Structure 1
Amino acid sequence: MEETISLKELFQTIKKRLGLIVLLTVLATALSGVVSYLLLTPIYQSSTQLLVNQSQNEQGTVDVNQIRSNVEIISTYNVLIKTPAILDKVSQELNGQETYSTLSSIITVAAEGNSQVLKITVQHPDPVMAASIANTTAQVFQNEVPTLMNVDNVKILSPAQVGENPSPIKPQPVLNMAIAFVVGLMAGVGLAFLLEFLDNTIKNEQDIEKLLELPVLGSITVIEDKDIQQAIRQQRQAKTRTRGETVGS
């Protein structure tokens, strides 16, 4: 006999295990909120922008080839900024508060699209320190480029600044709790169906037919004690009324 699962059975399973599903969803969401708000360290981000200048020719017009060269050299600058030649000096400027390995892990360098603007981004638990590292890195790089590359085409376009009320970029508690809610809900539903699949007890006539592959001819309902007592009282009352009618006649 081929087994089929109807939508009604699916909804019945969800309804039967609704408490478990809700419990797992609430626990996952609450745990995510506790971890996000109380255990994870807030990380702040600060960035500064560098401009790789284009040069002008004797007629005062922009040299297109020089612009293309400046854009291409940005890839070299991306690598150069995170080398010990730059970051060791940044560490010295910061009085050794951050080591080369630490600076290398928290600093990100990337070009702004295909422009001549280079962006240095720093992520740090202290917003003031993040801005300080970004500005120090930009300044050290600007000072060292003429020596390392024999060019002087870098200017600080926009230094990093700290706002009055800086907000951390991570963790994001609301997003984490939303993800935990969805994961908890899916886990709860999955566990509910797993428990239902592992439950091999016989609950109704359909289960008997599936197990024995025989039709059910009849069933005996469950009679509770209160139903028996009620039936006895009704029977006694009926006998009393019958006797009263007999005496009266």
Structure 2
Amino acid sequence: MEESISLKEIFGVIKKRLLLIMAITLGAAVVAAVISYFVLTPTYESSSQFIVNQSQQQDPNVQYNVNDIRANVEIINTYNVIIKSPAILEEVIEELGLSYSAGKLSENINVSNAENSQVVTVTATDENPVAAVDIANTTVAVFQDRIQEFMNVDNVSILTEAQLSPNPSPVAPNPVLNIAIAIVLGVMIGVGIAFLLEYLDNSITTEDDIDKHLGLPVLGVISIISEEDVRGNHMAFQANRTKRGGFNAAQKKSV
């Protein structure tokens, strides 16, 4: 038999386990904040831009045509590979005295260009903002010096050098984003656990549970009466009885 659940039952489960869901959500947000602020190491980015053309025309009156520009754009992918190659990065490491390998430095460098653009952007990432600036500028400078050894290129123009801002801000981690993601995941996990607990709960607590699980009709309901309710009702009954008949067994008639 196929079971279905109504929106009323869904909201009932959420309301029943609301404290659990809120606790899980708050815990996830706190964990994300602690990790973002105290565990993860901040990293900084710095970018340098340059433009590369093939050998300059011998005749200054001859202008580049569309095919020349298209060829330059298509060959930029080759430049990207050259920039991140050990031939370039090992020299960068030597000049800056870096303590890691060319492979590690390659992971911290991103080379990109806009679509149909000859402008190449080299972005360096490092835990030290000063080192990020030096890596970006030195990588472009080394590429500018050595590109002629690999290709027929002699016109590398640096458009923008990487510069250190007065108050550099880390690009990662992003605590606000991490906490927001943790809250969403906390709510999802909390709701999932709430429905799991409700699914595993086989106790019978309502008349509907008797009809649903046992298939038996409900003949009557016995309410739970505490001792305080019994005592309170008994005292109220005695007071009402005295008012109605004027008789109280606890009182003695004086002679």
**Which stretch has the larger CA shift, 121-130 or 105-114?**
105-114
Matches within 5 A, 1:1-249: 3-53=3-53, 55-56=56-57, 58=59, 60-64=61-65, 65-241=67-243, 242=245, 244=247
CA-to-aligned-CA distance 1:177-201 (integer Å, 9 cap, x gap): 0010111011111111111111111
**Which stretch has the larger CA shift, 58-67 or 215-224?**
58-67
Q: Which has the higher helix share?
A: 1
Normalised by the length of structure 1, the TM-score is: 0.91
The whole-number CA distance in structure 1 between the counterparts of 2:164 and 2:183 is: 34
What SS class does the counterpart of residue 79 from structure 1 fall into?
Answer: helix
Structure 1 counterpart of 2:247, which letter?
G
Q: How far 1:243 moved relative to its partner? A: 5.4
Q: How far 1:66 moved relative to its partner? A: 2.7
Identical positions, percent: 50
Q: How far 1:32 moved relative to its partner? A: 0.4
CA 1:135 to 1:10, structure 2 compared with 1: closer, same or farther past 3 Å? same
CA 1:4 to 1:118, structure 2 compared with 1: closer, same or farther past 3 Å? closer
What SS class does the counterpart of residue 82 from structure 2 fall into?
Answer: helix
CA-to-aligned-CA distance 1:210-231 (integer Å, 9 cap, x gap): 1221211211111111121123
Asked if 1 retains the 8 angstrom alpha-carbon contact of 2:89 and 2:139, the reply is yes
Asked if 2 retains the 8 angstrom alpha-carbon contact of 1:209 and 1:216, the reply is yes
Q: How far 1:113 moved relative to its partner? A: 1.9
Asked if 1 retains the 8 angstrom alpha-carbon contact of 2:86 and 2:102, the reply is yes
Q: How far 1:2 moved relative to its partner? A: 6.4
Structure 2: tracts of 5 or more residues without a match: none
**Which stretch has the larger CA shift, 59-68 or 130-139?**
59-68
CA RMSD of aligned residues (A): 2.0
Aligned residues: 246
CA-to-aligned-CA distance 1:2-47 (integer Å, 9 cap, x gap): 6442222221211111110110111101110111011111110111
The whole-number CA distance in structure 1 between the counterparts of 2:52 and 2:226 is: 89
Asked if 2 retains the 8 angstrom alpha-carbon contact of 1:57 and 1:63, the reply is no
CA 1:5 to 1:151, structure 2 compared with 1: closer, same or farther past 3 Å? closer
**Which stretch has the larger CA shift, 208-217 or 135-144?**
208-217
CA 1:231 to 1:155, structure 2 compared with 1: closer, same or farther past 3 Å? same
What SS class does the counterpart of residue 75 from structure 2 fall into?
Answer: helix
Structure 1: tracts of 5 or more residues without a match: none
Q: How far 1:239 moved relative to its partner? A: 4.6
The whole-number CA distance in structure 1 between the counterparts of 2:162 and 2:2 is: 69
Asked if 1 retains the 8 angstrom alpha-carbon contact of 2:124 and 2:136, the reply is yes
